[in-house]
Every structure is written in structure tokens, then in C-alpha cells.
Amino acid sequence: MKSSIVSSYKRPRHESHEFSSDINIHSMKPITLSGETNLNLKNFKALGHVIYAGDKYGLATISKYSPSEPRGKITVNLFHPSREIGIVVDGKKSGTKYSGSLETKWDAAKDKSRRQIIADVTFGQNLNDITTALSLITPFEMMPRITADIAYTNDPSKYSSVNTLTWGKSGEQISSSLSLKKPVSLSNIDLSMKASTPFRGLKRLQAEIAHTIADEIKTIVKGSIGSTNAQLEVSGADRGTYYKTDMSSGMTWKSNIPEFEDISI
């Protein structure tokens, strides 16, 4: 039995290229290769197929880019005799806002509702604010949707951040906020944090730190977890003169923890 390889190449348009090849080798099943591309970076396309023993495998890629918007999109499809996978990536910029999305599908022709993952991301920034949002849709029954939002602000009086994470069928959520007053230095810190969660015993979390160094050193730390509260205060000062040292310090602890409610040193 003879073996043969027959190939062809075409160029139907200036940017387009096509090729095909039929391979018949003794003791092997026939193989057919084919592909095409246009090599246009603003509107790129590339297709490739392999047919072996009647089964078809393939890859298709299409991308578009518009520098005037600017905006870009890439689509990739993988073909297999028993499976098809598709990926779409899209992104654009509008002013100071960036947004993008990612969508994946596998065996989508069989069940579109349960075989895809979709992610959307937006990012915005101006002089004093940064915002980010993420949305994720999955085929997983226990985690069909996840969203996250992050906001950061830098204003004349403080730095602040507000964040939320939501997931699950019932919309379980973790939220947090942070505030750091200005000016910030080793001699002046004023920080507060708050958070809430759906977890038992951790539904409410809060912490505050106030630290100053002037005529004396004073640090106050407050914290709470659920219904448990505590406060620690540490102070110290040197009231002496050039000829005499007069150091003083103290520490107090207050809480609603049994047997550790009030401690002073």
C-alpha cells in the first residue's frame, strides 16, 4: 500500500492564509490537517483542525482590538469529539474606569445553565478614590455566585477602606471597614476597624488603636469579638529635670471577661 501526503496553500486575500494537508501513511489511519489565519492584529483570526479516524479536533481563535475606545476581545474555542470548551475575554477602558469579563463554557450545548463560569471585574481610580468590584457566577450548586467590592478613599482627614464579600445561595456576607486618621507618624496613630461575618461567635468584630507621644506616651487599644469587650491602656512619662530622673508608667485593663474585668498596674 502506498503512502502519500498532499498539501495545498492558498492566499485568497492579502492578509489571509489557508493550508490543508491530507496524510495517508501505510498502517496508519488517514489524517487531515487544515488551518487559516489573517495575521491582522486588530481583527485577528486563526483556525486549525485535525481529523483523525473520523474524529475532529480543533482550535479557533478570534480577537478584536479597537485602539480608539480602547477595547479588546478574545474568543477561543476548543473542539474535541466528546467535549467543546469556549473562552471569551473582553476588556475596555472608559475614562478612569477599567472593566473586563471572562466567560468559560464546556459542553455548553448540553446544559448551558450548569456548565459555565462568568467573571466580571471593574476598576476605577481618580485623585482620591479607588474602587474595585468582582462578580463570579459558577455552575457549583453550593456557590452559584460570589461578589466582592473594595473601596479605598484618601481624603484630607483620613485614609479609609470599605470592603464586602458575598457568596452562597442565601447571600452570606463578610463586611469590613478601616479608618486611619491623618497625620500618621510614630507619635500619632488613630486607627479603627470594624467587621461583621455570618459565623457564630464572630458576627461582630471591632478594634481601635489610639497612640500619641507628646508630654507623655499614651496608647489605648480597644477590641471586641461578639459580645466580649476589652480595653488596654498603657501610659508613661518622664517628668524629671536635667539633674533628676522622674519616670512614671501605668497600665489598666478593662473587660467583661469574668475574673479579668479590671486590672491596674
Give the pairing of strands 217-225 and 55-66.
unpaired
Highest-pLDDT range among 10-14, 79-83, 165-169, 213-217: 165-169
pLDDT of residue 260: 83
pLDDT of residue 44: 92
Range in 1-15, 38-52, 156-170, 196-210 the model is least confident about: 1-15
Examine the domain organization and report whether 206 and 131 are in the same domain: no
Inside any domain, residue 126: yes
Query: Residue 232 phi/psi, 5° resolution?
Result: -120, 130
Inside any domain, residue 87: no
| Cα–Cα distance, 21 to 29 (Å, whole number) | 14
Examine the domain organization and report whether 103 and 74 are in the same domain: no
What are the helix and strand counts (H, E) for the chain? Answer: 0, 19
Locate 150 and state its grid cell: 473594595
pLDDT digits (tens, 9 = 90+) for 135-178: 998 888 888 899 999 999 999 999 999 999 999 888 899 999 99
Domain count, the chain: 3
Query: Angle at the Cα of 152 (from 147 to 158), degrees rounded to 5?
Result: 150
Inside any domain, residue 88: no
Q: What percent of the chain has pLDDT over 70?
A: 93
Examine the domain organization and report whether 62 and 132 are in the same domain: no
pLDDT of residue 241: 66
Other C-beta atoms lying within 10 Å of the C-beta of residue 167: 19
The average pLDDT across 175-195 equals: 95
pLDDT class of 237 with cuts at 50, 70, 90: confident
Examine the domain organization and report whether 196 and 265 are in the same domain: yes
pLDDT of residue 113: 55
Give the pairing of strands 262-264 and 247-255.
antiparallel
Inside any domain, residue 177: no
Alpha-carbon separation of residue 227 from 97, 149, 193, 199, 201 (angstroms): 41, 27, 16, 14, 8
Last residue of a domain, one of 148, 170, 192: 170
Last residue of a domain, one of 81, 102, 130: 81
Examine the domain organization and report whether 112 and 35 are in the same domain: no
Inside any domain, residue 64: yes
> Does the pLDDT of residue 205 top 70, yes or no?
yes
The average pLDDT across 207-225 equals: 92
| Host domain of residue 36 | 1-81
Q: What's the pTM value of the predicted model, to 2 decimals?
A: 0.76
> Does the pLDDT of residue 8 top 70, yes or no?
yes
Examine the domain organization and report whether 188 and 253 are in the same domain: yes
CA 165, distance to chain mean position in Å, is 11
pLDDT class of 64 with cuts at 50, 70, 90: very high
pLDDT of residue 108: 58
Last residue of a domain, one of 103, 137, 170: 170
Inside any domain, residue 137: yes
